Structure 1
Amino acid sequence: MLPFTTFIAIDWSGQAVERPKGLAVARAEAGTAAPELIDRNWSRQDITDWLADLADKGTRALIGLDLSPAFPLVDAGAYFPGWDRSPRDGPALWQLVEELSGEDPHLAATSFVQNAEARRHFRQLHDCGDLFPPGRGRFRVCEHGQAAMHLSPYSCFNLVGASQVGKSSLTGMRVLHRLRGRVPIWPFDPLPETGPVLVEIYTALAARTAGMRKGISKIRDGETLDAMLAALGSGPHAPLSRYDDHATDAILTAAWLRTVAGDPAIWAPKGLTPELARTEGWTFGVR
């Protein structure tokens, strides 16, 4: 496999508006220069088009998306037990989300979680589905691996709270459906010899690798960001006009991707089975 020359981290957002404030994209090239924030007023469609263009150009990029590409399946034998439309694998799930949300503007997925059968599995504000289990909800196998690494995963079926990831994941599935056949996503697709590859990232894992203490999850100043970048072998960043955790997460995670991409073990985690590779996926960096 040819080495990657470009490393991109995308902090995602499930906000049902055209240009979510939480979307942030950072790009690093091979070497030690700090990643640069691509400072645009991004929409999800903008990012989809930009990634497709990278593929058309054959850019050898490792691209991290901060979202879950699938729901839990192994624990209950289905993404949505009891629903006759429950998909068989990740790509079929992305297609179903697209089919049910295709009329939603801005690549949102509001219609999916409002579907009479789907909504039974989600915890939403003032609406907890009857099939959402007691407690924190269902988790993918790799999310149990995140917890074993002392991270704090949230169930993708939980759509309530500032730390929920379900809305981001659902909107991301619409993007993955659009990029299907153009940009491979690991581990659902074989790793290509050339061109870009998408992986699921967890920005807190990058921060933890850089030495951030447990309990401190966000960087909101330049000095701390440079210290974390230095721990990953990166030079200092170009000062930002505004520091927020979306921008700093993207910058730091792009540097982390560059650091770990050449490690063969990260591409072959012990817990990743062929079934998980086609159904639940895996978080890049979870061992």
Structure 2
Amino acid sequence: MSSKKRFILKLSCPDRAGIVHAVTAYLLEQGGNILTSAQHGDEDHQRFFMRIEFECAAGAEQAALCQSFAPLAERLQMDWELVDSQAKTRVLLLVSKLGHCLNDLLFRVQTGHLPIEIPAIVSNHRDFYQLAASHNIPFHHFPLLNASEEQKQGQERKIREVIEENQIDLVVLARYMQILSPELCRDLAGRAINIHHSFLPSFKGAKPYHQAHQRGVKLIGATAHYVTSDLDEGPIIEQEVARIDHSLAPEQLVAIGRDTECVTLARAIQWHAEHRVLMNGNRTVVFR
């Protein structure tokens, strides 16, 4: 077992000469040893992005490192985050009546292939309470018996309570077929991921596989993106495609697409949990 502690520093700031030198010099002063480093300069917006994983002596504390880094970050106008790389992201899963993404994520966590914790599952249906119980995860059934605004607000208050009580870091809409309110989208900015069963920006909204079939496309896909109040418009994290042909019915496209959705969502969650995703306006920079 290593006696050192590992941290991840990710940042973005206006691009200028000397940023890498300044950051690496700071880490050297702290006794840090860089394990991996990636950076990207966006020429269109003159903005610089960086992710560094490093290790320090066992006694190093995250709070102390943040405090000592803050003056440099302020001078270079950084948006930044420094985290303990061993701390697992706590994820709340939201699901409706389609459980393929939920089942896939639970299996990946159970087998150790997805480095997250799932303290709770929320659904507006009861279909998957037994699946949740088989993984010893609390299942919260918050039904929506009608589409009244009052009932939706009440349901979202319960979701907020689950988020707060379980200290949730990330909310995942694993085929959750309800639109979040603009207020909840705003409060979860950069902390909520949705899987859309289409290769966005094509075929937004309902039944995208049927739309794809009508257009006769040769590729269908899935898109994992951050949730915003603009439906299916949030910053894209990951996409995947599957090749199809004219002989396939819409129901067959749906079946093929479900595998694509599972893979795409799992990758996006993993990259978020590993702090590989940085926001760049309505786009993302992903250090894979």
TM-score (norm 2): 0.26
Higher strand share: 2
* Greater radius of gyration (CA): 2
TM-score (norm 1): 0.26
Higher relative contact order (CA 8 A, sep 6+): 1
